[in-house]
């Protein structure tokens, strides 16, 4: 190309060789790139050890004053500055909440040390955590004992022991035990644990007051003679549920001279007085472990009074009950026709539990929820899965996943057919195949609600629930909400609002839900929904509900202690709709009832995690020991990166430049 081209005959050999080498270089690079070569690089990242410092800012330290002591704060600042020079420092403040920095105000009305350990575990246990420093008095009054808290923290947990472990003179109400719910007209018991430290020879009086319209009404009192320096006594007081609603009581203990605190001498309690106790009959063909499971679940609702009877009993009177569960009934031996007829006449809701003793022919005739036809009498082992389209009531997000893991129950083998108004809650999974056979279904017809559990063995679900989560919450919620739905009389209101509880603690957020129905009684959430919450003094708080799926939710945050009324309102088709309710916020005074520092807890934490306990004047020693520790070292992370050379754009720029240069020189020397 360069030697035979007559246009380049006058060009010297060095220039021709130069042009030749330029084109050869470009061709060689292109040929090399056709092999798709890769470049492999290694990057290094050095992570400093993380030191987490958590400062207790609970109310007990506010009383002792240690967290606000200027000498301690100065020493703490110096220590943290020293640590920050060589390590990555994370600062936390905790009480009943956790704040990701240092604060100078009290955090909440309680202390949960296990919560801050859980926070550190979740966020830093999988990183280069060098040490944890807890500055606390060791007092905890919420959560689990930090000694027994299971965590993945491998770093040592050191403690700065604040507070005073000396037992000082004090009389206090240690604990109060009472039912949260009482029934109108009933007399109920309140048990009060009274404790006195270093107050031997003094007298005190425990008085019970009823709070009516912010006025104290004395109900009863008892005299106490403190006869030891470590005095403890349980006193029983009586009160009567005289009116419906949330009733406030005050327990007051007269003080002694020179006691450290009088705040813990009184305690407010709140009891909800109701007048709608419902009687539930569990009627069975014969004894079965399901009956105990149902009873234990339903007993968690104090509104229910539960009896277990058998079809053979002569004293079964269905008119005495508001709800009847029929287990393996009707059966071949007992048709229970008289009970079914009475339940129909009086619109008593029923729940059928189908089992191996159930006479399916009589069962099909007794209800219109579910029909089961059999050609051969046999059964299946059936597991459950949730119907995502069921919306008559809501359950927690944990239930759909939980029921899939529950062991199978025994269900009849046959052809299942739902009734006209039937809504399925759970379907059956048979031999790993999801079917459309109902396992739990309900129907609302003829002014009465009826439910069917088309399998027996709910007791196995409850045991598995406890084995899986150490509680029965999932099974209890599933059965309780089912029964609650069946028992509840139909509400024809198009707009409804409610709280998830009637009594809140002052460190809890207030949650409200609302439901809006169109003319076909279908849930909608198009219009805006507003709420106004007002306290006894008339102060109002205005909110707007948020839309969630097809209903409304509201997080009103925390409110001061007291009694509140709320009104939710919206407009549908030009018509104003309102829904009202009430709730109470009670004080939380846990931090005032135990002011003796628990340094023993800190020593046990140190033993468990390989840490030490330091006094506030040993803070500098703690910083030095962290510096010289051979276990707290930086960690180097190496990352391999592989990249295709074809992705390097500058190579294409180089090729273009070489080609342009060759073309330019060739044209410059006459090849044109």
DSSP assignment of 257-304 equals TT-S-SGGGEEEEEEEEES--EEEEEEESS--HHHHHHHHHHTTSTTE
If phi > 0 it is left, if psi is from -120 to 50 it is alpha, else beta; for residue 245 that is: left
CA distances 400 to 426, 442, 475, 486, Å, are 9, 18, 11, 20
- What is the CATH number assigned to the segment(s) 49-165+596-633? 3.40.50.410
pLDDT above 60 (res 600)? yes
Percentage of the chain modeled with pLDDT above 90: 49
pLDDT above 80 (res 556)? yes
- Burial string for 376-385 (b: 16+ CB within 10 Å, else e) reads eeebbebbbb
What tens digit of pLDDT does each residue of 11-53 get?
778 888 888 888 899 999 899 988 888 888 888 888 889 999 9
280 vs 245, more confident: 280
* 3-class DSSP state of 328: coil
Residue 140: which pLDDT band, with cuts at 50, 70 and 90?
A: confident
- What is the CATH number assigned to the segment(s) 279-487? 3.40.50.880
- What is the CATH number assigned to the segment(s) 495-586? 2.60.40.1930
What tens digit of pLDDT does each residue of 213-253 get?
778 999 999 999 999 999 999 999 999 888 888 888 999 99
pLDDT of res. 68: 60
Query: Mean of the pLDDT values across residues 160-187?
Result: 83
pLDDT of res. 596: 76
Q: Which of 244-248, 302-306, 488-492, 579-583 has the lowest mean pLDDT?
A: 488-492
- Tell me what the pLDDT averaged over the chain comes to: 88
- Continuous segment of H or E residues that includes residue 203: strand 203-212
Closest CA to 409 of 365, 471, 475, 349: 475
Structural domain boundaries in the chain? 6-43+641-668, 49-165+596-633, 170-274, 279-487, 495-586
Residue 358 DSSP class: B
Number of H helices, E strands in the chain: 13, 37
Residue 254: which pLDDT band, with cuts at 50, 70 and 90?
A: very high
pLDDT above 60 (res 67)? no
Residue 337: which pLDDT band, with cuts at 50, 70 and 90?
A: very high
pLDDT above 90 (res 607)? yes
* 3-class DSSP state of 24: helix
HEC states along 235-265? EEEEEECCCCEEEEEEEEECCCCCCCCCHHH
- CB contact at 8 A, 234 and 221: no
pLDDT above 60 (res 620)? yes
Identical fold for domains 49-165+596-633 and 170-274, yes or no, is: no
Question: Domain 170-274 adopts which CATH fold?
Answer: Immunoglobulin-like (2.60.40)
Q: Which of 126-135, 501-510, 568-577 has the lowest mean pLDDT?
A: 501-510
Residue 546: which pLDDT band, with cuts at 50, 70 and 90?
A: very high
- CB contact at 8 A, 151 and 117: yes
pLDDT above 60 (res 380)? yes
Q: Which of 353-362, 496-505, 576-585 has the lowest mean pLDDT?
A: 496-505
H-type alpha helices, 411-570 = 458-469, 473-487
Query: Mean of the pLDDT values across residues 90-105?
Result: 84
pLDDT of res. 672: 54
pLDDT of res. 66: 59
H-type alpha helices, 312-411 = 337-345, 360-366, 398-405
pLDDT above 70 (res 65)? no
* 3-class DSSP state of 201: coil
Residue 174: which pLDDT band, with cuts at 50, 70 and 90?
A: confident
The pTM of this model reads: 0.51
102: phi then psi, degrees, rounded to nearest 5: -85, 130
């Amino acid at each position: 190309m360069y030697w035979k081209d007559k246009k380049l005959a006058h060009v010297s050999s060095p220039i021709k060789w130069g042009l030749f080498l330029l084109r050869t270089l470009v061709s060689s690079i292109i040929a090399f790139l056709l092999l798709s070569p890769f470049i492999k690089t290694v990057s290094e990242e050095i992570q400093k050890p993380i030191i987490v410092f958590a400062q207790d800012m609970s109310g007990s330290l506010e009383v002792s004053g240690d967290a606000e002591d200027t000498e301690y704060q100065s020493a703490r600042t110096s220590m943290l500055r020293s640590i920050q020079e060589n390590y990555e420092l994370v600062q936390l403040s905790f009480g009943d909440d956790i704040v990701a920095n240092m604060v100078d105000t009290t955090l909440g009305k309680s202390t949960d040390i296990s919560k801050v350990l859980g926070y550190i575990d979740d966020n830093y246990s999988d990183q280069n955590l060098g040490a944890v420093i807890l500055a606390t008095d060791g007092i905890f009054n919420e959560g689990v004992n930090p000694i027994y808290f299971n965590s993945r923290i491998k770093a040592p947990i050191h403690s700065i022991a604040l507070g005073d472990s000396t037992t000082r003179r004090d009389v206090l109400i240690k604990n109060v035990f009472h039912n949260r719910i009482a029934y109108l007209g009933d007399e109920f018991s309140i048990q009060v644990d009274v404790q006195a430290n270093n107050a031997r020879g003094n007298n005190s009086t425990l008085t019970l007051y009823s709070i009516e319209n912010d006025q104290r009404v004395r109900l009863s009192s008892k005299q106490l003679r403190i006869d030891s320096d470590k005095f403890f006594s349980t006193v029983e007081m009586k009160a009567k549920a005289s009116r419906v609603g949330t009733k406030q009581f005050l327990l007051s203990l007269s003080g002694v001279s020179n006691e450290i605190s009088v705040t813990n001498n009184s305690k407010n309690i709140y009891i909800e007085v109701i007048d709608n106790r419902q009687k539930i009959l569990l009627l069975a063909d014969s004894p079965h472990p399901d009956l105990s499971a149902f009873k234990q679940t339903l007993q968690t609702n104090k509104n229910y009074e539960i009896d277990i009877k058998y079809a053979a009993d002569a004293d079964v009177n269905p008119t005495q009950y508001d709800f009847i569960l029929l287990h393996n009934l009707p059966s071949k031996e007992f048709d229970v026709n008289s009970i079914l007829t009475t339940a129909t006449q009086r619109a008593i809701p029923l729940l059928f539990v189908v089992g191996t003793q159930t006479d399916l022919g009589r069962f099909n005739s007794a209800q219109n929820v579910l029909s089961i036809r059999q050609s051969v009498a046999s059964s299946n082992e059936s597991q459950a899965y949730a119907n995502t389209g069921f919306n008559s009531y809501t359950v927690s997000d944990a239930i759909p996943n939980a029921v899939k893991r529950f062991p199978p129950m025994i269900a009849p083998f046959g052809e299942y057919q739902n009734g006209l108004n039937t809504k399925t809650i759970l379907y059956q999974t048979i031999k790993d195949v999801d079917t459309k056979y109902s396992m739990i279904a309900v129907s609302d017809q003829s002014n009465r609600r009826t439910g069917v559990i088309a399998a027996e063995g709910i007791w196995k679900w409850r045991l598995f629930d406890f084995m899986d989560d150490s509680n029965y919450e999932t099974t209890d919620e599933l059965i309780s909400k089912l029964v609650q739905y069946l028992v509840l009389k139909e509400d024809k209101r198009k707009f409804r609002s409610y709280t998830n509880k009637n009594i809140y603690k002052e460190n809890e957020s207030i949650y409200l839900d609302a439901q809006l129905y169109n003319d076909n009684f279908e849930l909608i959430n198009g219009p805006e929904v507003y709420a106004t919450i007002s306290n006894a003094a008339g102060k109002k708080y205005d909110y707007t509900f948020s839309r969630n799926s097809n209903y409304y939710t509201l997080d009103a945050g925390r409110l001061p202690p007291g009694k509140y009324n709320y009104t939710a309102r919206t407009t549908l088709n030009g018509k104003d709709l309102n829904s009202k309710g009430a709730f109470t916020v009670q004080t939380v005074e846990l931090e005032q009832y135990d002011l003796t520092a628990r340094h023993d807890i800190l020593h046990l934490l140190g033993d468990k995690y390989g840490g030490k306990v330091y006094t506030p004047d040993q803070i500098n020693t703690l910083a030095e020991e962290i510096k010289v520790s051979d276990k707290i070292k930086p960690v180097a992370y190496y990352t391999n990166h592989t990249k295709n050379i074809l992705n390097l754009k500058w190579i294409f720029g180089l090729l273009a430049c070489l080609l342009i240069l060759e073309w330019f020189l060739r044209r410059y020397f006459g090849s044109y």
